[in-house]
Amino acid sequence: MNEIIRKDAISILSKVITILKVKEEKDVTEIKALSNHTIHNASVFQDETSVSIAILIYSLSKIIERDEKQLDYGRIVSMLQDSKNYLERNLVGEFNRLVRKIFKIISNVDSKIKLYIEEVINQAEIKKSCKLCEHGISVGRSAEILGISQWELLNYLGKTKLVEDTPDVIDLRTRIRIARSLFK
């Protein structure tokens, strides 16, 4: 694993642990911001660890937002601490195993929530894949990184309004004039 990504992942997990140790109303907003931060490494390095952290954190924020009483904060914080410790020791396989276990716990919080959580995780994967596309990664590669179909991603992308920065917009007449000047 890339050292920069590993250190950033450890930092993100430390922040999430700190946030979850003390329940506050701003927790959801802070956790979502951290989730979006991790996508930067995923877009630059196309790293699955960063993406899984982003999805995990996003999923936690959605559960806290919807029904925080169902979530065993102590257990989740403990498991996040263990996952951080695995990354600190560069035990990526153990980290991935524990993250899958956390996802399973989130999915089993309540039988009514289970379907919602699965949908949240799926939507989080799609949203994070969209973020990868915003950072210049192809639709095919973004879908592959997150294990979703290109159709799911394209469906979501079609509903969003990705803003492209085009500060130097040239009107049609000027473009035609430039094109004609090339062939003189």
Separation of CA 108 from chain center:
21
Task: State residue 42's pLDDT score.
Answer: 62
Average pLDDT on 2-25 reads 89
For position 79, what pLDDT does the model report?
96
Please state the domain count of the chain. Answer: 1
Q: Once rounded to an integer, what is the mean pLDDT over residues 34-49?
A: 69
- Would you state the pLDDT for residue 106? 76
> What pLDDT score does 165 carry?
46
Which amino acid, 129? S
Average of per-residue pLDDT across 39-50: 67
pLDDT of residue 111: 52
Residue 44, token pair as written in the block: 């630059």
Predicted local distance difference test score (pLDDT) of residue 180: 87
Enclosing domain of residue 158? 3-182
Interacting residues of 94 by C-beta distance below 8 A, sequence separation 6+: 86
Secondary structure (H, E, C), 14-64: HHHHHHHHCCCCCHHHHHHHHHHHHHHHHHHHCCHHHHHHHHHHHHHHHHH
Whether 175 shows a pLDDT value over 90: the answer reads no
- Mark 105-117 as b/e (b = at least 16 C-beta within 10 Å): ebbebeeebeebb
How does pLDDT run across 45-102, given as a tens digit for each residue?
667 787 778 778 877 877 777 777 777 888 999 999 999 999 999 999 999 999 989 8
Structure tokens at 61: 């924020």
What residue spans of 90-171 are helical by DSSP H? 92-107, 111-134, 139-146, 150-159
Which tens digit of pLDDT belongs to each residue from 103-140?
888 777 655 445 555 665 677 677 778 878 877 888 89
